[in-house]
């Protein structure tokens, strides 16, 4: 990503700067930055801004039903396109309702611009009505925050925030603007000077470090390209494909990187980690060289870190120097943008390899054996209910790789990562680091606004869906026809799985009563109808395809399909938390019963 200020058109030349209200300056600045869509909901401290929004036509405002929905919609918009997502909220509880989405964007490196109203500058610090120190509250979960107390400060604050959010390691930036700053007049100066002396992201890597990485790769017998979400954020998928094919190294893609490398490619081993494929997990664990590209050695990938990949040298590539050696000491640290670094590594590889191939034949023989011995699969439930894996697999097969799939958090998230084939970047959206329930529906809504010509699925759980389903009203009113697949196991499924495995089956407070027996609270089909969506319930395997096809054919309103699935279905494979990833025997012992409780 570039470290230069985002190029914007110059304002029309005039003898004197135009006088604008602060609210007018907000809108004009967003227009000049290229923003075309924003998500938000008004309140007392942003009434001036909303009054101005009503009179303009260049920016589409999507009125959400909850500020958290605005934040996740802006995340979905950004994750589907790579553009900065914008969310607007009022002061106090409006701003604090954005906090979860801001934290989510921070963990997953999503470029997000949050604009919040603040009480009058003369009232700050007095515990005025709906006053909250949102800058202090969000300090640990933003790249930076700005407070604009005057109208004149607004253009530079928003332009600086946009630049910070979209460069280096992307992330959320908050601009808090007092109500009097929105109301008062000031000359609109464009382009503003971005005074950011402490912000200098490193994009170009040190050449000697890249050469050292290429030398290690040439000498390796068991190399692995460990690909994280940073490759997607850097738009580096074409370069990754070229590097992989040039070196012949196997590739694993983390939960955040699904789609960065085509699932159909023969060098792809799948997703590593707690619920990763056996070949991907063991490839990392038994490697002698890990080239980490935009990944951060998350605990869900490494398992017990002291026992992770004990024989591997580490090349760690990341645009954020704070991530280098934070968890696993890097033998070759490389700070830089993933796209630029991979491009440099391709050239360095060509220089050191001189047309020679890596000596990895034995390594690939072993990995191919793992793929044959441990294919991803599931068994049919014995309770007569649907297998959730089958449902999700059919959604992917009938819809195809050009769609966008936004998952909630839990079992359905892992199954969606496992059983849908991803062939392109930005097709898989989920809450990886924060694990935010309620992410899926608003994120899908934001993605559909950004990519109106693509099919967008929200794959959600019955627990997650009940946290943000009010945004179905937003979708219906604004003609945003997303498809929602509720994987309804009538419980908080992932928590229930842990209770089954580690708490002797004591399912404490995880039964949601949404899909089994005589009571359905709520009835999701009736709820869909109440929101103006098409509601469908599927209870048998022979109904699955027809329901999905009907959803795909319905584009005049949102669609909600309530798939009644088995509560006993589990996510396999599974490496228990805090356990070493050396689990060949564990996998062999459990392979015959994957999918059964």
**Set 75, 131, 143, 179: catalytic member:** 179
Q: Report how far residue 486's alpha carbon sits from residue 468's, in angstroms, rounded to the nearest whole number.
A: 13
Q: Report how far residue 527's alpha carbon sits from residue 484's, in angstroms, rounded to the nearest whole number.
A: 13
Active site residue 67: yes
Q: Report how far residue 505's alpha carbon sits from residue 500's, in angstroms, rounded to the nearest whole number.
A: 4
Active site residue 56: no
Q: What are phi and psi of 322, to 5 degrees?
A: -65, -20
**Set 18, 31, 124, 130: catalytic member:** 130
Active site residue 378: no
**Residues in a beta bridge with 114:** 87, 174
CB of 556 closer than 8 Å to CB of 481: yes
Q: Report how far residue 66's alpha carbon sits from residue 43's, in angstroms, rounded to the nearest whole number.
A: 12
Count, residues in the chain: 597
If you search the block for the tokens 């909630």, which residue do you land on? 408
DSSP state of 565: B
Q: Report how far residue 407's alpha carbon sits from residue 458's, in angstroms, rounded to the nearest whole number.
A: 6
Q: Report how far residue 208's alpha carbon sits from residue 532's, in angstroms, rounded to the nearest whole number.
A: 60
Q: What is the SS3 assignment for 580?
A: coil
If you search the block for the tokens 């290229």, which residue do you land on? 34
Q: What is the separation, in whole angstroms, between the first and last Cα of the chain?
A: 46
Give CA 263 to chain center in angstroms.
Answer: 18
Q: What is the SS3 assignment for 530?
A: helix
CB of 252 closer than 8 Å to CB of 227: yes
Give CA 441 to chain center in angstroms.
Answer: 13
Q: Report how far residue 310's alpha carbon sits from residue 55's, in angstroms, rounded to the nearest whole number.
A: 62
**Set 52, 67, 286, 471: catalytic member:** 67
**Set 1, 274, 414, 494: catalytic member:** 494
Q: Report how far residue 288's alpha carbon sits from residue 301's, in angstroms, rounded to the nearest whole number.
A: 17
Number of helices and strands in the chain (H, E): 24, 20
Q: What are phi and psi of 442, to 5 degrees?
A: -65, -35
Q: What tokens does 589 get?
A: 């012992």
**Set 4, 56, 129, 362: catalytic member:** 129
Q: What is the SS3 assignment for 560?
A: strand
**What is the sign of the dihedral through the CA atoms of 212, 304, 276 and 592?**
positive
Mind spelling out the 3-state secondary structure of 250-289? CEEECHHHCCCCCCCCCCEEECCCCCCCHHHHHHHHCCCE
Active site residue 193: no
Got the DSSP string for 454-489? Answer: S-EEEEEEHHHHHHHTTHHHHHHHTT---EEEEEE-
Considering only CA atoms, which of 240, 234, 459 is closest in space to residue 345?
Answer: 240
Active site residue 204: no
- Which amino acids are annotated catalytic? 67, 129-130, 179, 494
């Amino acid at each position: 990503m570039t470290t230069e200020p985002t190029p914007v058109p110059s304002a029309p030349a005039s003898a004197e700067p135009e006088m604008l209200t602060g609210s007018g300056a907000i809108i004009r600045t967003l227009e000049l930055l290229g923003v075309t869509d924003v998500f938000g909901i008004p309140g007392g401290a942003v009434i001036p801004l909303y009054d101005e929004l009503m009179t303009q036509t260049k920016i589409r405002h999507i009125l959400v039903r909850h500020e958290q929905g605005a934040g996740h919609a802006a995340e979905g918009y950004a994750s589907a396109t790579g553009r900065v997502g914008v969310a607007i909220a009022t002061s106090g509880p409006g701003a604090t309702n954005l906090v979860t989405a801001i934290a989510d964007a921070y963990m997953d490196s999503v470029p997000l611009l949050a604009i919040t109203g603040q009480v009058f500058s003369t009232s700050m610090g007095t515990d005025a009505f709906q006053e909250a120190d949102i800058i202090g509250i969000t300090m640990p979960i933003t790249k930076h925050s700005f407070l604009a107390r005057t109208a004149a400060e607004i253009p530079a604050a928003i332009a600086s925030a946009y630049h910070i959010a979209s460069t280096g390691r992307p992330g959320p930036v908050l601009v808090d603007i007092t109500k009097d700053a929105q109301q008062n007049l000031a000359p609109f100066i464009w382009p503003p000077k971005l005074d950011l002396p402490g912000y200098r992201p490193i994009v170009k890597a040190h050449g000697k470090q890249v050469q050292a990485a290429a030398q290690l790769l040439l000498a390796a017998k068991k190399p692995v390209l460990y690909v994280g979400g940073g490759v997607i954020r850097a738009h580096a998928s074409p370069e990754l494909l070229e590097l992989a094919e040039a070196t012949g190294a196997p590739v694993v893609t983390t939960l955040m990187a699904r789609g960065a490398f085509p699932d159909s490619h023969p060098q792809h081993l799948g997703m590593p980690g707690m619920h990763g494929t056996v070949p991907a997990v063991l490839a990392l664990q038994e490697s002698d060289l890990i080239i980490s590209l935009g990944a951060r050695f998350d605990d869900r990938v490494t398992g017990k870190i002291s026992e992770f990949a004990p024989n591997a040298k580490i090349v760690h590539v990341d645009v954020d120097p704070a991530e280098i050696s934070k968890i696993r000491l890097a033998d070759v640290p490389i700070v830089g943008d993933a796209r630029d670094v991979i491009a440099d590594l391709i050239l360095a590889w060509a220089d050191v390899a001189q047309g020679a191939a890596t000596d990895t034949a034995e390594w690939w023989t072993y990995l191919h054996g793992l793929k044959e011995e441990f294919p991803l699969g599931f068994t049919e439930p014995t309770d007569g209910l649907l297998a959730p894996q089958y449902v999700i697999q059919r959604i992917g097969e009938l819809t195809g790789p050009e769609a966008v799939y936004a998952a909630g958090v839990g079992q359905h998230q892992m199954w969606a990562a496992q059983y849908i084939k991803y062939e392109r970047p930005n097709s898989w959206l989920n809450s990886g680091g924060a694990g935010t329930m309620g992410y899926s529906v608003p994120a899908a809504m934001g993605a559909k606004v950004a990519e109106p010509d693509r099919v967008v699925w929200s794959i959600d759980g019955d627990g997650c869906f009940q946290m943000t389903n009010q945004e179905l009203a937003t979708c219906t009113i604004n003609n945003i026809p997303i498809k929602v697949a509720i994987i309804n196991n009538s419980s908080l499924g992932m928590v229930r799985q842990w209770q089954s495995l580690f708490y002797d089956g004591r399912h404490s407070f995880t039964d949601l009563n949404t899909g089994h027996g005589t009571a359905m609270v709520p009835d999701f089909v009736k709820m869909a109808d109440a929101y103006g969506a098409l509601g469908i319930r599927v209870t048998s395997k022979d109904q699955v395809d027809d329901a999905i096809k009907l959803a795909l054919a319905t584009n005049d309103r949102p669609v909600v399909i309530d798939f009644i699935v088995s509560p006993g279905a589990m996510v396999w494979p599974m490496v228990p938390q805090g356990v070493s990833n050396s689990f060949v025997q564990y996998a062999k012992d459990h392979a015959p019963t994957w999918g059964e409780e």
